[in-house]
Amino acid sequence: MEYGPIFIRAHEHEYQNTQVRPQHLPGVIAQHYLGQQFVLRAYSAQERIVDACLTTPLQCEDDLQSLLAKQEVEFVFVRFPTYGCYACRIERVSS
């Protein structure tokens, strides 16, 4: 189980536009924030690791869709590969 990071905002309304959804990942990648390789780590609702993969900007959309196709996956952490540092969290959203 992992904890953190913890974000504290001065105003509740600031949170509304800060969620990263699967469709936002290409924008994050276009900014070169994640580099040439990064990790997608999928978790269950109980915060257990379900699956993970090392991916690239060109392959990440397919890899993310593959992880989210697994019914037990509730969210995906995007991590930097060298030290495993947290980059962002992608949550499954009901359509």
Residues 41-90 have pLDDT tens digits of 999 999 999 999 999 988 988 999 999 999 999 999 999 998 888 888 88
- Give the pLDDT of residue 37: 92
User: What residue spans define the domains of the chain?
Assistant: 19-91
Span 25-38, mean pLDDT?
A: 74
Torsion angle of alpha carbons 38, 43, 49, 53, nearest 10°?
-30
